[in-house]
Amino acid sequence: MIEFFDPIDTYLARHMIAITPTQRAALVTYLETLREWNEMLNLTAIKDPAQMVTKHVLDALTYLPFWATPPKRMIDVGTGAGIPGIILAIMWPATHVTLAESIAKKCKFLVHVAEKLELKNVHIIAERAEVIGHNWDYRGQYDLSTARAVAELRTLVEYLLPLCAVNGVVYAPKGPNPEQEVADATKAIKTLGGQLRDIVPIEAAPLEPRTMIRIDKIRQTLPQYPRYQGTASKNPL
C-alpha cells in the first residue's frame, strides 16, 4: 500500500500537515486489514489498492485542514468500514472518536481494526442514528458530527444535528454542485437547530472535485427529533 501514498504526501505537504511514522504505518495497516477482510465480508466496493488509498484515506484527510485544533469529540455516523472515523482517529489521537454503524459485520471489522491499531480514542456503537440520537450518552455530546455517503442532506441533518453540542458543527461531504440539495434542506436545518455556515470546495487530486457543507449547531434540537427509524429518509423535513 505504501507505494501508492504519493497523493497523500502531496496533499499533507500542501496543507502543511505533519504525519508521524507511526501514523503512516497505522494508515497502511488499516488499508491492508481492510483489504484482507474485504475478501471475506465485502465491506467496500473499492478493492484496487491505489483507489483504496485515494478514495478512503485521502478523502478522509480532507477534513484535516479545517481544524487548526482538532475537535475534542467527534462522531462518524454510518461509518461502514471506518471512513472517515478510523483515519481521523489515527491522525487526531487526542480526539475521542465514536463510530456508529448498524451493520454487525462492519462493526466486527471496526472492533478488530481498532484493537489491532491500539486506537484507545475509538468507541464503537452498533446502532442506528435514530436510536443514538435519543440516547443522552451521545445526544448533544459532539463538537463534530459527520457521515459520508449516507443520505441526502435534509435527511442527513436529522441524523447528525441532534448529536452535536450547541456550538458544534456538522460536516457533510458532498459532490461539486450541492446547491440544490442545500436549498432543499433549509427547512430541516433550521428546524433541527442548525444554521448553514458555508459550502467549501475541496481540491485533492486525484480525487474528483467535491465540497464540504458545514452547518453550525446554534440551539438545542427539539426532543422529538430524530424521528422513528426510517422516517427521516421516507418523509424528510
Is residue 202 domain-resident? yes
Distance (Å, whole) CA 111 – CA 99: 10
| Domain assignment of residue 156, yes or no | yes
The sign one gets for the Cα dihedral 124, 130, 131, 133 is positive
- Give the residue ranges of the chain where pLDDT is below 50: none
pLDDT attached to residue 39: 85
Taking only the tens place, the pLDDT of each residue in 159-192 is 999 999 999 999 999 999 999 999 999 999 999 9
CA distance 157 to 217: 10
> What's the structural domain count of the chain?
1
Cis geometry, peptide bond prior to residue 206 (ω within 30 degrees of 0):
yes
Phi/psi for 117 (5° steps) reads: -90, 0
Please report, as a single letter, which amino acid is at residue 81.
Answer: A
Query: Is residue 57 situated within a structural domain?
Result: no
Q: 200 exposed, middle or buried (CB, 10 Å; 0-12, 13-18, 19+)?
A: middle
Q: What is the CATH number of the domain that holds 227?
A: 3.40.50.150
Range of the domain at 214: 69-234
**Alpha-carbon distance 100 to 79, whole Å?**
6
In a domain, 182, yes or no: yes
